[in-house]
Chains A and B, each alone.
Chain A
Amino acid sequence: MATFELYRRSTIGMCLTETLDEMVQSGTLSPDLAIQVLTQFDKSMTEALENQVKSKVTIKGHLHTYRFCDNVWTFILQDAVFKNEDNQENVGRVKIVACDSKLLTQ
């Protein structure tokens, strides 16, 4: 199953990466195994998002920058408004990074 490494940049992914880094540096973990764990994280995170998350969000804002490179869209929004069912968040500046969903299904 193809996976994205995209989600490693999330908080939970960064926490895992830091943990693995520390453990590899201290010698308790081999780099190979650390990579396996990360790959597993990619899969688990993707599955969890698909299966356990149902919420819907709308995003509005001023598009400051757009970029499409290597099948990854990057948007930088200004004065963005994120709305979901129960609340709304305003952000002065936010970056959206999105991989092509079809790459996973192929």
Chain B
Amino acid sequence: MVSMFDRKHYFYGDMPVGYQITQQRNPLAKDGILDLFVFTPGIHKSPYVKKVKIKQLQLEQDSGKSLHGSDSSLVDLNRAGMGLMEVVFEPDLTDGEEAAALVKELAGILKKIGTCTCKMEEGGLRVDANVSIHQEGEPLGTRTEIKNIGSFRGVASAVKYEIERQIKLKEKGYQIINETRAWDANTKSTVAMRDKEEKQDYRYMPEPNLPPLHLSNDEVNQGSVNVEKLRKSIPELPAQIRERLQKELGLTLSQAVILVNDSVLLQFFEDSMKMKQLNPKLLANILIYEFSHIIYKTKVNPEHFLNRSNVVADLVYLLDTRKINRGIFCYLLEELFIGNPKQPIEILQEENLFQITDEEELMKICKEVLNENENLVTLYRGGKKNVYKALMKILVNKSNERADMAKCDEIMKKLLNGE
């Protein structure tokens, strides 16, 4: 296969040589397929599979960045001329969540093979979303293109907004016009960008400074890329990781999808699993719920903590072996995450936070709680079963949050109902 480069000509301040080197006639690759899972907790109950066709993949030069002021324009040329890979997808997606899932999957692959950081905030990965609406069975409607999307969630929100905007327009009887719109993350809306001038003839011409790029499947002579050799050097990709997590470690599909979509969580998962023999499902749940919650709550970048993933492993091990309970676990994890340099076991010993699992001791605490709260006991026995929660909360405090609550639950129920 031969891939070729072309010059696309236009005068614009952000393109200092007056043309962009791109691949118009023979792109690097054509007609591909990307399989992905769409799953946004809170929106979808469970993950579903989506197949998206890749129209083509081309290499081109990045342009500079124009900054328009009221009386002057500035151009930032730092990016101009840098290599850029553009992946063009067929219109196979139906909503913003699918679009976001596609971008995440693609980012996962590109990061794995070392293409780029895929950080949307830094422009390492950019998304131009083309949106159109149509009634089932009818041809695709006129599309608009959304630029300036700065995050994965932005992809979902921008597409959702644009679909709703187009539907509203149509319902009012207006036509959709083919235009470029910018996503404004603050107002959560798309706004029409400055009009591109009327249709241009780009006067494409083969790029004479770049010889054709030959791709081949066999051992080949000089100046050609051996695709097979490249393929063999590709590391485990997201789809394969999801499969391994499910088949070898017994995670649910949802767990696997969530972990693979979040490279940092996945890193904690993989690192922790290497350090200790842990229950994979428990670890996955801890990361997806407790740990994610702590990250969200403290707003601390979790990447700094990656070199302490032994802490995560230790804590999950302590939890799994019932040395600590979930409350203490969360307390410790947060404490360590925000910067306490000690080891978990040190804090446990200093603050005496080990879980109380001894039946007799638990029985003693339970009885004390009941004795000290006779009014609640009376209410409970009189039929007000929901005071049970209050009793349990008192128990948690009384034990300094150390009681094995699962066991206490049994004991309390026995004490309250069995006497």
Does A associate with B in a complex? Answer: no
